[in-house]
Amino acid sequence: MPPRAHPQPGNAPPRGGNRFQRERERPKHFVKTILRLLGYFREQWYALPVIFLLSVGAAAAALAGPFLIGRVIDALVYPYPAPEVTRFALPIFGLLVVLYLWDACTNFLQTWVVAGASQRLVRSMRQYLFKHLQKLPIKFFDSYMHGELMSRLSNDTDNIAGILGMALVQLTSILITVTGVLAMMLWLSPAMTFFALVSVPLFFIVSKTIGGKTRKHFRQQQLELGLLNAKIEEDITGMAVIKAYGCEKKSVEDFAQINERLRVAGTHAQIWSGFIMPAMNVINNLSLAVVAFAGAMLAINGSITVGIIASFIAYARQFGRPLNELASTYNQLQSALASTERVFEILDVAEETPDPPHAAALTQARGDIRFQNVTFGYKPNSPVISHCNFHAPSGSVIALVGPTGAGKTTIVNLITRFYDTDAGEILLDGKPLASYTRNSLRRAFGIVLQDTYLFTGSIMENLRYANPDASDAEIKKAAQLVGADHFIRQLPEGYHTPLAENSRNLSSGQRQLLAIVRCVLANPDILILDEATSSVDTRTEAKIQEAMTMLMRERTSFVIAHRLRTIAGADQILVVDKGQIAEQGNHQELMAHNGIYRRMFDMQMKGIH
């Protein structure tokens, strides 16, 4: 797919503030998000029974310990002969050592299995999210800051991986442990069990109250983190502009404001998450005091032994500890679910309108293009072009001229189906654009944009991007045709010179030359040149014009240009003004018409800009 064309400035939907405001107001669903997240765990289903079995093993060891300790205490409290006590206690001590070692091993294996499963799950989610981004319409990227999308793809998915594994282990272990401990307590003393369970409602009330606040602040924290990443990405990319206009102070101040909001959100999230453990410890300690007092009264009455009290207190601690862990896990799960919702929000964005069932692959385009009463706007009820009509015969050169923001690039965006029309129809070779599959349609176009984008990698790799099957000889021949071969050979490693991020080790003119070479290699049926020579000097421009003339031969070509002398030989010139075709004809006809085009041309010839 060719590089995307950006909408005209001022025509694209607003980016940033409104979108994030809608995020804050949108209601979120805890249970729904968890169930949907677990749906992604289907690929790792085999890990669930392994985790369950290891949890059972660990719980068995943890449950057996207090019971055996109680037996030893009873043997010590009651007057048995010393040799008998020793013979009874030593095997139990040995068994306790084995049980605790087994508990440690099962916990380690549990963590190992879950870490692998959760990382594979998040890898799949990250891969699916990135793949989904490739299928979204161009207008989606006009409404999100790129740093914000990067934050969701990296920070949010990492947050899910870090907490999901821990939560899965703890929730499984908590479920088994609580069930086992409750069974043991009921077996030892139903009366004592009643006193131990008095505090359970308090656990859930505190968890629900604090958990709701925590989730809200963790979501705000992730939101502010996304804004911070967007600010960093934007300012680093535009550092030359910041320095050129002396805006370093303002950049730092803007960053400080976002950073401060992130600090506040993070502080609130951590404070509320910090409330839950002390509150749980207070409830747990009060519960143990109640259990100890009730046990003492029952022991005095002879209903239970001292060993049972000791075992029961240990079980009560085990019963309270999972509830504490549940509260902590629930608390931390808020952060993961906030990240999950942000990821799901992107996944829920509708992909580009799928090709209709009858759509056919475009194998060879003649290039006959017709606009029939086309209307389009980037925002509803705000048309950028209105009732646009023109015909570009096959093999003709069509020039688009007019003031900035008039709608020239918008017309190109519609031809390539980066956007679909709101009304009217665009025909290619007599058929609507929607009758062709979108991918085959875009492969028929070769595009050179004013804003050239090159990817990280060598020059050779970037040139081959348009035609992966092109040989080195074909690439060098195309570079010679355009006039780029000379400067490429002067680079340290020639065609294999690696490009820095955003190709900043090349001038803008050199980047544009490489983009034109890439277009030549694509050998398209239809050419679109959006200010293709705007960043090159006059001598280089002459060479490119010669190459473009050769390349445009027998191809339908659309040329957007502000320097009118470069398009004087076009078959048809469309003067776009306020979203409409104000004038159309060749150079001689428009000059004779003495209208907008004539005034623009005369002003440029006189050097008035």
pLDDT in tens, 571-608: 899 998 888 888 899 889 888 888 888 888 888 777 65
Q: Is the pLDDT of residue 369 over 90?
A: yes
Count of CB atoms within 10 A of residue 139's CB? 17
Model pLDDT, residue 513: 82
Q: What was the pLDDT predicted at 438?
A: 86
pLDDT of residue 176: 75
**Half-sphere exposure (CA, 13 Å, Cβ side) for 167?**
21
Q: Taking 60 as the threshold, does the pLDDT of residue 85 lie above it?
A: no
What is the tens place of the pLDDT at every residue in 436-479?
988 888 888 888 877 777 777 788 888 888 788 888 888 888 88
Contact 368, 379 (CB under 8 A): no
Query: Which pLDDT does position 149 carry in this prediction?
Result: 81
Higher-confidence position of 142 and 389: 389
- Contacts of range 416-419, beta carbons closer than 8 Å, 24 or more positions apart: 416/2, 416/5, 416/441, 416/442, 416/445, 416/447, 416/528, 417/441, 417/442, 418/4, 418/5, 418/137, 418/138, 419/137, 419/138, 419/139, 419/376, 419/378
Checking if the pLDDT of 79 tops 70, the result is no
Quote the tokens at residue 362. Answer: 């475009």
Per-residue pLDDT at 545: 72
Burial class (CB in 10 A: 0-12, 13-18, 19+), 112: exposed
Which DSSP string do the residues of 17-57 spell out, in sequence order? HHHHHHHHHS---HHHHHHHHHHGGGGGTTHHHHHHHHHHH
Read off the pLDDT band of 17 (50, 70, 90).
very low
Kind and range of the H or E element at 527?
Answer: strand 526-530
- CA dihedral 103→108→109→115, nearest 10 degrees, is 140
Q: Which residues pair with 388 in a beta bridge?
A: 374
pLDDT above 70 coverage of the chain, percent: 79
189-216: per-residue pLDDT in tens? 787 777 777 777 777 777 677 766 777 7
Mean pLDDT (the chain, rounded): 77
DSSP 465: G
Q: 89: burial class by Cβ within 10 Å (0-12, 13-18, 19+)? A: middle
Contact 222, 159 (CB under 8 A): yes
Given the DSSP bridges, would you call strands 397-401 and 572-577 parallel, antiparallel or unpaired? parallel
What's the CA gap between 423 and 498, in Å, rounded?
Answer: 45
Q: Is the Cβ–Cβ distance between 518 and 465 less than 8 Å?
A: yes
pLDDT for the residue 9: 36
Q: Is the pLDDT of residue 150 over 90?
A: no
Whether 535 and 509 have beta carbons less than 8 Å apart is answered as yes
Average pLDDT over residues 133-151: 78
Name the band, by pLDDT with cuts 50, 70 and 90, for residue 325.
Answer: low
pLDDT greater at residue 131 or residue 238: 131
- Among all chains, which residue has been given the structure tokens 């088994």? 176
d(CA 446, CA 522): 7
DSSP letter string, 396-464: -EEEEE-STTSSHHHHHHHHTTSS--SEEEEEETTEEGGGB-HHHHHHTEEEE-SS----SEEHHHHHG
Q: Which helix (H) or strand (E) holds 556?
A: strand 556-560
pLDDT band at 11 (very low <50, low <70, confident <90, very high): very low
Task: Specify the range with the lowest mean pLDDT, choosing from 84-88, 370-374, 549-553.
Answer: 84-88
Q: What is the spatial distance between Cα 600 and Cα 117, in angstroms, rounded to a whole number?
A: 65
Task: Give 209 or 261, the one with higher predicted confidence.
Answer: 261
Alpha carbons 493 and 488: distance in angstroms, whole number? 9
* Bridge-based pairing state of the strands 556-560 and 397-401: parallel
The dihedral built from the CA positions of residue 524, 530, 535 and 539, taken in this order, carries a sign that is: positive
What is the spatial distance between Cα 346 and Cα 150, in angstroms, rounded to a whole number? Answer: 12
Most confident of 1-10, 61-70, 179-188, 592-601: 592-601
Q: What distance in Å separates the CA atoms of residue 439 and residue 445, rounded to the nearest whole number? A: 10
pLDDT of 370 reads: 92
pLDDT by residue (tens digit) across 157-174? 877 776 666 666 677 777
Compute the average pLDDT of residues 173-197: 76
Identify the helix (H) or strand (E) that includes residue 254: helix 248-300
* Amino acid (1-letter code) at residue 208: K
| Collapsed DSSP state (helix, strand, coil) of residue 366 | coil
